[in-house]
Amino acid sequence: MDDAIQLKYTVSPEDFTRAGEASGDLKKVLKQIGVSPEAIRRVSIAMYEGEINMVIHANGGEITVYVTPSQVKMILQDSGPGIPDVEKAMQAGWSTASANIRSLGFGAGMGLPNMKKYTDDLQIETVLGVGTTVTMIVNF
Amino acid sequence: MVVRTIVELLDADIIHGVDLDTREIRSCCGSDMMSDVLAYVKDQPVLLTGLCNPQVIRTAEMMDIMCIAFVRGKRPDEKMIELAKDRDICLLATKHTMFTSCGILFQNGLIGGA
Ligand SMILES: Nc1ncnc2c1ncn2[C@@H]1O[C@H](COP(=O)(O)OP(=O)(O)OP(=O)(O)O)[C@@H](O)[C@H]1O
Ligand SMILES: [Mg+2]
């Protein structure tokens, strides 16, 4: 990926009001370089779901994005609790979110299935007590 | 209909007006769960919600929702208004409940569509 643009974001833990800043910035960059609105929408939704997950389930983390003329690759890395059962987590409606998170408008268990739906590839590497890395690719 | 018609039908206050008379709107969604908006909304330019936090604005940004109407008297704070201004998102506020707001708009021809 020699000709890739690389973007790096730090997702701050606990600051719920700022969750989504990275996704918003990525959206702006993709618009500037002329990516199609349809592809931008897919990237934005997937990245935002992932970013929100980092804030509400892990303790924030780092996001690295590579943009080439043909694809976006998003790597979301956290040092949170890890996901005990990824297969279960991928099911629509499955969530460990607290009542507090639901009162903030999230926690329907729709994020991971939605990330899968809008990306061409979704990989989850997770180790309990160590953290989770979610890698997503959207081709244009 | 245009956003101005929604303002009139819902007797809404305009907190931040954008494209009030220009863009044609045919469908709308109503939800307090941003999870559901992200998962189910397809092409709805207007969101009715009783949730009032910055993530409502960010969700609209990601979904290309151009107008948010807060129901049952909810009022966005300065920070939310700033976020919306920055993103050219129209903000309205109505005293009607979610059910009544949806009913009025549906009766006047807006569809769900999700
Ligand atoms: N980065 C993460 N670290 C630890 N656990 C996670 C992480 N991402 C997801 N999970 C776990 O997987 C579950 C399902 O995630 P998903 O995003 O599908 O739903 P949710 O975040 O609970 O609700 P929604 O996304 O609809 O707001 C979560 O409830 C949580 O238990
Ligand atoms: Mg989620």
> What is the set of domains in chain B, with CATH numbers?
3-108 (3.40.1390.20)
**pLDDT score of A115:** 98
In total, how many domains does chain A have? 1
For residue A116, give the ligand nearest its CA: 1
pLDDT at position B43 is: 84
* C-alpha separations of B71 from A30, A54, B90 in Å: 33, 29, 14
Q: Which of residues 56-85 of B touch A (CB under 8 A)?
A: 56, 58-59, 61-64, 79
Q: Are strands B46-49 and A131-139 parallel, antiparallel or unpaired?
A: unpaired
ipTM of the complex: 0.93
What is the rounded distance in angstroms from the CA atom of residue A67 to the CA atom of residue A86? 27
User: What pLDDT does residue B114 have?
Assistant: 57
- Dihedral sign, Cα of residue A73, residue A31, residue B60, residue A139: negative
In whole angstroms, what is the distance from residue A84 CA to residue A94 CA? Answer: 13
- Best residue of A15, A35, A48, A94 to probe chain B, by most B CBs closer than 10 Å: A48
CATH number at residue A86: 3.30.565.10
Cβ separation of A17 and B79 shorter than 8 Å? yes
Residue pointed to by tokens 């330019």: B45
Q: Tell me the three state secondary structure of residue A1.
A: coil
C-alpha pair distances (Å), B74 with each of A113, B4, B95: 31, 19, 8
Residue B12, pLDDT above cutoff 90: yes
Of residues A125, A113, A137, the one with CA closest to residue A65: A137
pLDDT for the residue A2:
60
pLDDT of residue A13: 86
pTM for the complete prediction? 0.96
B35·A20 Cβ contact <8 A:
no
Nearest to A113 by CA among A93, A133, A98: A93
Structural domain harbouring A49: 5-139
pLDDT classification of A96: cutoffs 50, 70, 90:
very high
| Torsion sign, CA atoms B76, B77, B83, B85 | positive
Cβ of A80 closer than 6 Å to ligand 1, yes or no, is yes
How high is the pLDDT of residue A61? 97
Q: What are phi and psi of B34, to 5 degrees?
A: -65, -30
In sequence order, what are the residues at sequence separation of 6 or more whose Cβ sits closer than 8 angstroms to the Cβ of residue A59? A13, A14, A78, A79, A80
> Per DSSP, what are the bridge partners of residue A121?
A137
What distances in angstroms separate CA B17 from CA A35, A94, A112, B13, B88, one per listed residue? Answer: 28, 38, 34, 10, 9
Average per-residue pLDDT in chain B?
95
The reply to whether residue A20 touches residue B33, judged by beta carbons under 8 angstroms, is no
CB A111 near ligand 1, within 6 Å: yes
